[in-house]
């Protein structure tokens, strides 16, 4: 059942204007394969083997939650109706029937009042929120006791490192905000900050992984870089190995209440 909501939270990013560009850039190639491989590996290794109530907040194209919908009760939400339409089309192809909600996460407080979830997914959302710290109160309200929180977020340290490698020193000295068509966020949250939120909230970290820990940093593709399957395998291999996981363009923390 869909519940379109027209009142967007003005400080949060809505990808309606670049939904097709988002779909192509984020999941249309090797970058998307790596992201899905790491996230699916982390979840499969730690989630219990029983039906779960799942909420995907800021789901975008909802690849992870749509796959979960084959065995679990899933609610998929996003502020963008364009993204939800794309997710609905994929759901039809997969023959799954999750519930879809078009709304900023702040409005879910009323729409889902009294409900709790065994797993909340929040992937690539924090960095697009006007006030990212406030979403922790939402998790506290809707995550069940012993529930799992899957947080994937942009790693600002990776942008600094990439600019150093590429010689873009001017970007470090005088950073320019990304334009509206860019998928590089202007408001990323550092790992230490996110970890402190989780620690203060009484969460236990089950695993932490880097997504794209080396492949984005290679300006010249050579040898194994030319074999996508090998790249994915090596990304998985080093995604949880210190110190390489900390260099991921995105970081994934799976935590338990």
How are beta strands 99-102 and 73-78 bridged, if at all?
parallel
Q: SS3 for 188? A: coil
Query: Is 13 labeled as ligand-binding?
Result: no
DSSP string, 224-257: GGG-HHHHHHHHHHHTTSTTGGGG-SEEEEEEE-
Query: Is 35 labeled as ligand-binding?
Result: yes
Query: Is 225 labeled as ligand-binding?
Result: no
Structure tokens at 120: 């909340």
User: Which sign does the torsion angle of CA 49, 51, 53, 55 carry?
Assistant: positive
The H helix count followed by the E strand count for the chain is: 10, 7
Query: Is 59 labeled as ligand-binding?
Result: yes
- Nearest 10 degrees: Cα torsion 4, 86, 26, 191: 30
Query: Is 174 labeled as ligand-binding?
Result: no
Q: Would you mind telling me the total number of residues written for the chain in this entry?
A: 257
Query: Which residues are documented as binding site?
Result: 35, 58-59, 78, 123
Query: Which residues are documented as binding site for S-adenosyl-L-methionine?
Result: 35, 58-59, 78, 123
């Amino acid at each position: 059942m869909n519940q379109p909501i027209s009142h967007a939270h003005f400080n949060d990013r809505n990808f309606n204007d670049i939904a097709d560009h988002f779909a192509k850039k984020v999941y249309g190639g090797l970058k998307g394969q790596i992201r899905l491989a790491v996230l699916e590996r982390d979840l499969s290794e730690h989630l219990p083997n029983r039906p779960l109530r799942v909420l995907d907040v800021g789901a975008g194209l909802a690849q992870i939650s749509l796959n979960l919908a084959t065995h679990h009760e899933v609610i998929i939400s996003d502020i963008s109706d364009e993204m939800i339409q794309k997710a609905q089309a994929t759901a039809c192809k997969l023959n799954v029937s999750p519930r879809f909600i078009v709304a900023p996460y702040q409005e879910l407080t009323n729409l889902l009042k009294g409900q709790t979830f065994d797993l909340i997914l929040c992937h690539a959302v924090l960095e697009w929120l006007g006030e990212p710290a406030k979403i922790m109160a939402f998790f506290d309200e809707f995550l069940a006791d012993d529930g799992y929180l899957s947080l994937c977020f942009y790693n600002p340290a990776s942008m600094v490192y990439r600019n150093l490698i590429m010689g873009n020193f001017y970007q470090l000295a005088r950073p320019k905000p990304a334009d509206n068509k860019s998928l590089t966020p202007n408001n990323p949250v550092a790992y230490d900050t996110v970890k402190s939120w989780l620690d203060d909230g009484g969460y236990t970290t089950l695993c932490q992984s880097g997504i794209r820990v080396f492949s984005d940093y290679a300006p010249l593709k050579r040898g194994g870089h030319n074999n996508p399957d090998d790249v994915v395998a090596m990304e998985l291999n080093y995604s949880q190995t210190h110190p390489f996981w900390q260099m991921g363009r995105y970081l994934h923390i799976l935590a338990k209440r």
